[in-house]
């Protein structure tokens, strides 16, 4: 019994001075301090050993290539506007094949409506657009 009282006397102060453990996250996404965001982002970026395989190294983004890309986008936009204007205004759109730089556009009339096939000859990508009657 004396041993039990001795253990109780020794361990009771530990119990009296204990406190509740509280978890405070560091990551601001989980409720942590918002000022840690930049530090965590820079640490993650520094540790990231992966590179995006779709980004080609040594690609020359000159003003001329930007101008060419912009011109191609404007031409395709104008062509699509003309096609839809002719289709929905009642004018007959003539089926046929057209080439615009590296794009081949084939227009045909099908059972579903107007079928527009677009083929990029440089990458081999294809797109088919069907405009219902």
**Does a structural domain hold residue 4?**
no
Per-residue pLDDT of the chain (133 residues; tens, 9 = 90+): 778 777 777 766 555 566 788 888 888 878 788 888 888 888 888 898 887 766 666 555 677 778 878 887 887 888 778 776 765 665 556 788 877 778 888 888 888 888 888 888 888 889 888 877 7
pTM above 0.75, yes or no: no
State the pLDDT at residue 12. 64
State the pLDDT at residue 11. 66
Cα 56 to Cα 101: distance, rounded to the nearest angstrom: 22
State the pLDDT at residue 80. 75
DSSP-assigned states of every residue in 62-120: -HHHHHHHHHHHHHHHHHHHHHHHHHHHSPPPPPEEEEETTEEEEEEE-SSEEEEEEEE
In the chain, the number of structural domains is 1
Residues linked to residue 53 through DSSP beta bridges, in sequence order? none
State the pLDDT at residue 41. 86
Nearest to 28 by CA among 17, 20, 36: 36
Q: Which domain holds residue 115?
A: 94-132
């Amino acid at each position: 019994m004396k041993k039990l009282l001795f253990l109780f006397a020794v361990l009771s102060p530990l119990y009296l001075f204990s406190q509740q453990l509280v978890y405070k996250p560091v990551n601001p996404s989980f409720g942590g301090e918002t000022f840690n965001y930049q530090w965590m982002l820079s640490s993650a970026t520094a540790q990231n050993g992966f590179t995006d395989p779709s980004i080609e190294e040594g690609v020359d983004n000159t003003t001329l290539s930007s101008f060419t890309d912009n011109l191609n986008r404007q031409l395709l936009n104008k062509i699509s506007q003309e096609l839809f204007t002719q289709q929905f205004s009642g004018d007959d759109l003539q089926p046929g094949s057209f080439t615009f730089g590296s794009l081949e556009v084939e227009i045909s009339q099908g059972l579903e409506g107007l079928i527009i096939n677009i083929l990029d000859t440089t990458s081999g990508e294809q797109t088919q657009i069907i405009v219902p009657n």
